[in-house]
Amino acid sequence: MKRNGIGRATIVAAGLAALTACGDGTPQAVERTEVTPGEWTALFNGENLDGWRSYAEDGALNPQWIVEDGAIVLDVDEGTDETTGGDMITVDQYENFELELEWKISEGGNSGIFFGVREIPGHQVAYESGIEMQVLDDDRHVDGKTPETSAGACYGLYAPEGKVLRPVGEYNKVRLLVNDGHVEHWLNGNKIVEYVIGSDDWNERIANSKFSDWEHFARYREGHIGLQDHTDRVWFRNIRIRTL
């Protein structure tokens, strides 16, 4: 398990602050920090799925997740309309980190990248706890018509701005930073989403979303990284992480 406190060098950055909510809802300024990142660690070696397992499957990995030409692929037929491989998660858990990967999606396809995922007894999908960076064919999937559910969005909560999305069949590069609740989504070299988990703005958006009564959603700072089975063929490659 990757612990934030191990090997962390922290320097207080003067003048930088983020807003979080006090217990009474009053905004509270807290100092942001600069950290010395850890070494990059590959989460996928391009050859097998060591370090990954299916969500809620007691360590097993469903055979629909395969390795093909140096990429992790959800190997499903075009007409598949039920989850077959199930969501896949890292064996290890992470709290503060920088994640990089590349993804491409099939025509009309939908998937997602999760963080803060916990396995909850009786639950079968990562999105009930994990926060999602959306993976989507914006042009052909209905979710692409709504900015908050389009590719790169913090699903259902924050719409991307300044997004450059590559066509279906081409890889998009993701950089996801999570540090003490401050989160940035980067896509193809552009920062497109930024938010602070627990801030007044975050809490208001949660209250006005479908997640408002989800007991476990976004409750865990440390959790698994997850890749979603949304019944569509999707590819992920060059996956690496470093702790902050």
Burial of 81 (0-12, 13-18, 19+ CB in 10 A): exposed
In this prediction, residue 14 has a pLDDT band, given cuts at 50, 70 and 90, of very low
Across 205-215, average pLDDT: 97
Residue 12: partners with Cβ closer than 8 Å, 6 or more residues away: 31, 33, 34
Token readout for 191 is: 């920062």
Give pTM, 2 decimals.
0.84
The one-letter amino acid code at 12 reads V
Cβ–Cβ < 8 Å for 55, 74: no
State the pLDDT at residue 31.
45
For position 80, what pLDDT does the model report?
Answer: 66
Instruction: Supply the mean pLDDT for the chain.
Output: 87
In this structure, which CATH number among 3.30.1370.160, 2.130.10.30, 2.60.120.560, 1.20.210.10 belongs to the domain 40-243?
2.60.120.560
- When pLDDT is averaged across residues 169-192 and rounded to a whole number, the result is 98
Using the predicted structure, report yes or no on whether residue 179 has a pLDDT greater than 80.
Answer: yes
| Beta sheet of 52-54, edge-to-edge order | 52-54, 88-90, 224-227, 110-117, 131-136
Confidence of residue 77 (pLDDT cuts 50, 70, 90): confident
Q: What is the CA radius of gyration of the chain?
A: 17
Mean pLDDT check: name the lowest of 5-14, 88-97, 165-174, 201-210: 5-14
Are 207 and 60 a contacting pair, CB within 8 Å? no
| Residues paired with 42 in a beta bridge | 240
